[in-house]
Amino acid sequence: MRPSYGLTKVRSKDRIIGTLIGGAVAAVMVLLIQNPYLYAVLGIGSLIIAFSMVQRNYKASATFITLSVVFIYGIIEPDISTVIQYRIIDTVLGAALSYVAMLFLWPAWSFLDIHETIEMSVQANRDFLNEIGLYYEQKGQVPTSYKVARKAAFLERPI
C-alpha cells in the first residue's frame, strides 16, 4: 500500500499487469527451455534487473520479479505451470485485498479535503521547482534536499 488511495491503485494495477506479462513470458520460456541450470541463471539475472527497475518502472519490475520467482521455483518444482498460476492468482488476490482495505478499513475520502490536498501538492511542487533552480545554478552532485523535495512532490500529487 502507498500513502494515498490513488498511488495504491496505480501500484496495484502496475503489479497486476507486470505479473500477467511476466507469467506469459515465463510460460513461453518454460515451453522452450527445459534446463534447470538455465532457470537458475535466468532467475538470478531477472531478479537483478527487477531490483534495478523498482524505482523507475514498477510494471517492468513486477514482470522481472515474476520471472525470477517462476524460474527459481522452477528449479525446485518440476511443474512450473502451477507456480505461474499461483503467482498470478496470489498477485490478483493481494491487489484486491489492498483495494478493499483502502476503501473500507481506512478510508481516506479525498474529496472531503480536496482544497488542502491541492494546496499541499502545489506547495510541494513549488519547493521541488525551487530545488531544480538551485541545482542548475550550483551544478555538481544532486543534493539531498533536491531528492527530498522530489519525493515530497511525488507523494503529494493528487491522483
Residue 91 in this model has a pLDDT that exceeds 60: yes
- Report the percent of the chain where pLDDT is more than 90: 31
Q: Could you read off the pLDDT of 117-130 as tens digits, one per residue?
A: 788 889 999 999 99
Rounded to the nearest integer, the mean pLDDT of the chain is 85
**Cα separation of 10 and 99, whole Å?**
11
Does the pTM surpass 0.85? The reply is no
d(CA 52, CA 75): 23
- What are 15-73's pLDDT values in tens digits? 889 988 998 998 899 889 888 899 899 999 999 999 999 888 999 999 999 999 989 88
Q: CA 52, CA 98: separation in Å to the nearest integer?
A: 25
